[in-house]
Amino acid sequence: MDNFFGFTLLRNGVKYDYCFKEALISLNGVTSKTVLALGESDDGTEDAVADLDFLEIVPTVWDDSLREGGLILSQQTNVALEEAKKRYGDLENSWGVYLQCDEVFHEDDYELIKEDLRKAALEGYDTVAFRYFHFWMTHDQVAINKKWYPQEIRAVRLNGNIESWGDAQTFRNHNRTYYSEGRIFHYGHVREEDSYKSKKADILKLYHKDEKLSKYKRREKRFDNQTEMLSFHGKHPAIMRNRLERLGGEWFPEKVDEVFLLGNPQEFPSTLTNKIHANKVTWVKTWFEIPAEKRDQFGVDLNTSFFTRLLGRSYVPTQMRSKLALPWTKETILMFKVSEKGIGFNF
């Protein structure tokens, strides 16, 4: 029997238009119960989660003295984590799985994540990290520059002294981390415009003193303007469809007639190329085998060389820009390569 339990924090999710119900339901796709540290809210968030019967709610009140550096976020995360340890830490191979309430697991990865938790337990790991897709301003753009973490710990053994720290991005007091290919879709920067503006203004207050807010607002704007992005036309988690369409996004591109691939077919077997949303996939040995009128729209150069970038055929790298980034799988690279042309990919 799997002993996987969720834990997370939430406050004013309605006001800031968090995808918190989608996040919690996706967490329940991997876990049996979720401990939620639910901060006192003024927007009906408590009522919004009342129908989720898998939640074990711990009511909390946020301490404004823990504002600077985002410490309130780790403190509240640890409220939920400690409660999960108290309830389930004595069970054999018990794991606590953590998602923040703007992060969503993909349903296609539920079984992979569970299997990786089992493997991690058998092989003596005490944390598991997952891959990240950070959506930036829209559902069809992913941020990849150094500011963005490429993978992060989101599962911890419940029988030790592991804890959240800092602004709750990650955990400390662990020994070995297992790296899963399970994906986390981060939607924190894709939400209703007014709510997003309020969230950005208020989140800075969780990190900085009032007299320094202007300085950090300018820095944040500069960082935003420097964001490097890749197009994304893969499959979002199904639970996000209504929200995505409400915010004006396209669920999935129409199927195209033919796509031309330049590269090594042995690196991209049919199990991957069959996921391209096209009636036909044709391999070519040179760029000029592609009909001239179809190169720009349907020609996909799968090479990742400087030459490919220089010619403007593709700007997809092999991993995110962070020094901590692990190389992407061939499936992820192929997804970004065809997305660059506006073509859908079933992944």
pLDDT tens for each residue of 276-291? 999 999 999 999 999 9
- Identify the burial level of 214 via C-beta atoms within 10 angstroms of its C-beta, where 0-12 means exposed, 13-18 middle and 19 or more buried: exposed
CATH number of 3-189: 3.90.550.10
pLDDT tens for each residue of 81-90? 999 999 999 9
CB 239 within 8 A of CB 187: no
3-class DSSP state of 151? strand
Domain segments of the chain as ranges = 3-189, 256-339
User: How many C-beta atoms lie closer than 10 Å to residue 154's C-beta?
Assistant: 24
Report residue 239 as tokens. 């639970």
pLDDT at residue 6 greater than cutoff 90:
yes
Among 255, 251, 206, 205, smallest CA distance to 72 is for 206
Determine what percent of the chain is predicted with pLDDT higher than 70: 93
pLDDT tens for each residue of 190-227? 998 877 776 666 665 555 556 555 654 566 667 777 89
pLDDT at residue 177 greater than cutoff 90:
yes
Among 1, 58, 2, smallest CA distance to 30 is for 2
